[in-house]
Amino acid sequence: MRKTPLVMLAILAAVATGCSSGDSSSAPSPSATLGPTTGAATGATTPATSPVKRGCDADYLAKLTLREKLGQLLTVGVTGADDATNVVRNSQVGGIFVGGWTDKSLLGSGLIEQVKAVAKVPLMVTIDEEGGRVSRAKDLIGPAPSARATAQTMTAQQFHDATVTRGRALKDLGVTVDFAPDVDVSSQPDDSVIGDRSFSDDPAVVTEFADAYIRAMKEVGVGTVMKHFPGHGSGSGDSHTGAVRTPPLSQLQSVDLAPFRNLIDSGAAVMVGHLDVPDLTTPDVPASISPQVMSLLRDGTGYGAAPFQGPIFTDDLGGMAAITSRMSIEDAVEAALVAGADSALWITTDAVPQVLDRLEQAVSNGRLSTARVDESVLRMARYKGALQTC
């Protein structure tokens, strides 16, 4: 991987900043209460430096070694049942991702239950199913219109009802989390990177339809993930192919950040994009590995929102040039978790052992504290519904 001195200095700065703030009281406590269906955290927090409460939390953590706890903070793309079984059994990853390249016989055939059976704690089965051109399950549950077409042809209630039907179909396949809705506000052409994936260039419309989606999925027991914080809709390009620069933070406030602000207590998780944000991110440190962005989301005060208490996912760290042109997957995952993300996402299993080796080193030398790891493990557990009976 190419690493210029400027980029390496920026990466080191991000890690140092994350280490200094990783255990601060700005991060929500693992003792927040559960949402009724998805397990998303809601309610009051205590300082992140508080000891883990006895009972359910401690019992859950005691099931896992340090390496397995670190595995719980990874969501990785799989090729099929064998690949998924191996990475779950050997590394106890927190989630698997079903992409366009995945053998779909993994879903709806009983094979996914075999994969879940080798997990010590509940496993997330995630997918990108937005409708339109981002639809990984259309061959199994049928196509759906793009977000933009949906908002132009349906009421929010009609969309809610249609989403209940699709959500049940996804759940029947074994999917537990959908990386949707896209809450980017955009007037880009339909075929651009966001384009018709956005409901509208009006943040009120985006909020209304995204809310309908999240509520519908919650009703059927499928987790949702709003993306791409702090807003990709006005970005300069495609983070799959290179660095993307957004307008300054001050310009994102009234439009791009509005749906996140409006829906921050909805129970959905949030995915952070690979976005360079003037006046917010350090140069050459995109949002997905930026402590400043994680703090903005967690605290909420910097954009007029309530503190966010649910899980933070990264966008794909292994297949998008906005990250891969700057650093290796090991560097990226470490930087993301140190910055404050709860789940690092990428699209293959090949590097999982090396990533876990690196993360163990990060804990050993103090770049990533065990308290910070436990906090994220418990936040992901709540989102997965793993502590609902406590």
Catalytic center residues: 240, 315
Asked if residue 303 lies in contact with residue 253, where contact means CB atoms within 8 angstroms, the answer is yes
Q: CA 19, CA 21: separation in Å to the nearest integer?
A: 5
Q: CA 261, CA 309: separation in Å to the nearest integer?
A: 13
Q: CA 100, CA 92: separation in Å to the nearest integer?
A: 23
Q: CA 296, CA 158: separation in Å to the nearest integer?
A: 34
Instruction: Judge if the upstream peptide bond of residue 248 is cis by omega within 30 degrees of 0.
Output: no
Q: CA 182, CA 147: separation in Å to the nearest integer?
A: 8
- Residue 176: which of 86, 269, 70 has the closest Cα? 269
* Alpha helices, H only, the chain: 5-21, 56-62, 66-71, 81-91, 111-117, 138-141, 147-153, 156-173, 203-220, 249-252, 258-263, 291-299, 321-324, 329-339, 352-364, 370-383
Q: CA 30, CA 197: separation in Å to the nearest integer?
A: 33
- Residue 30: which of 358, 342, 295, 294 has the closest Cα? 342
Q: CA 261, CA 204: separation in Å to the nearest integer?
A: 11
Q: CA 78, CA 233: separation in Å to the nearest integer?
A: 29
- How many angstroms separate the first and last alpha carbons of the chain? 45
- Amino acid letter for position 107: L
Q: CA 7, CA 26: separation in Å to the nearest integer?
A: 27
Rg (CA), the chain: 19
Bridge partners, residue 177, by sequence: 126, 223
Q: Are strands 312-314 and 269-272 parallel, antiparallel or unpaired?
A: parallel
